């Protein structure tokens, strides 16, 4: 990303930290998902790895200039079976970014496919580069 792009990562953690869910006493792992950010003159594309996450368990929102990704993974249990032992509990994911004022948050597009979330965040019209015609004479 260039110095002019104002996408600033708010969370720098890369470790797994346990947290207590408010709804139950169950302890879950919160993971900061791996993210790739691509920039072009018209905006940025954010690609986040969220394995095991379905659309119903994904929450993407923009609030006070922050892009927040929250999700919960689920391990499917076959019918008639009950999980007796799990080496790793199904994690929850959290990642947050601060978006600069040159992005149009009303036009964000999101797509989730095979555990990969792809967000397209366009620049506002006034922030996009435009070519100036130069006349001679």
Query: Domain for residue 134, yes or no?
Result: no
**Domain holding 121: CATH number?**
2.60.40.790
- The Cα-based distances of 39 to 43, 77, 137 in angstroms read 6, 40, 37
Number of domains in the chain: 1
Which residues, listed in sequence order, are joined to residue 28 by a DSSP beta bridge? 19
Q: What is the pLDDT of residue 14?
A: 34
Q: What is the pLDDT of residue 29?
A: 72
Domain that holds residue 121: 34-76+104-125
Q: What is the pLDDT of residue 3?
A: 41
Question: For residue range 41-86, what is the model confidence (pLDDT) as tens digits?
Answer: 899 999 999 998 999 999 999 998 899 999 999 877 788 888 888 7
Residue 103, pLDDT > 70, answer yes
DSSP state of 111: E
Query: Domain for residue 116, yes or no?
Result: yes
Are 35 and 48 within 8 A, CB to CB? yes
Q: Mean pLDDT in the chain?
A: 80
Neighbours of 116 (CB within 10 A): 15
Q: What is the pLDDT of residue 72?
A: 93
Query: Domain for residue 113, yes or no?
Result: yes
- The phi, psi pair for 127, rounded to 5°, reads -90, -15
Query: Domain for residue 42, yes or no?
Result: yes
Percent of the chain clearing pLDDT 70 (strictly above): 80
Query: Domain for residue 110, yes or no?
Result: yes
| Stronger pLDDT, 4 or 118, i.e. the higher one | 118
Query: Domain for residue 3, yes or no?
Result: no
- Supply the pTM of this predicted model: 0.70
| Stronger pLDDT, 128 or 54, i.e. the higher one | 54
Query: Domain for residue 9, yes or no?
Result: no
Query: Domain for residue 54, yes or no?
Result: yes
């Amino acid at each position: 990303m260039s110095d002019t792009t104002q996408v600033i990562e708010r969370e720098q953690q890369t470790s797994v930290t346990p947290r207590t869910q408010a709804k139950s006493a169950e302890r879950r792992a919160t993971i900061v998902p791996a993210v790739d950010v691509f920039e072009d003159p018209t905006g940025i594309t954010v690609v986040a790895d969220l394995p095991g996450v379905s659309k119903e368990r994904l929450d993407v929102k923009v609030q006070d200039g922050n892009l927040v990704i929250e999700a919960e993974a689920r391990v499917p249990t076959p019918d008639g079976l009950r999980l007796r032992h799990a080496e790793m509990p199904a994690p929850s994911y959290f990642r947050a970014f601060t978006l600069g004022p040159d992005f149009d948050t009303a036009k964000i597009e999101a797509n989730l496919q095979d555990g990969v979330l792809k967000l397209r965040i366009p620049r506002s019209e006034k922030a996009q580069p435009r070519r100036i015609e130069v006349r001679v004479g």
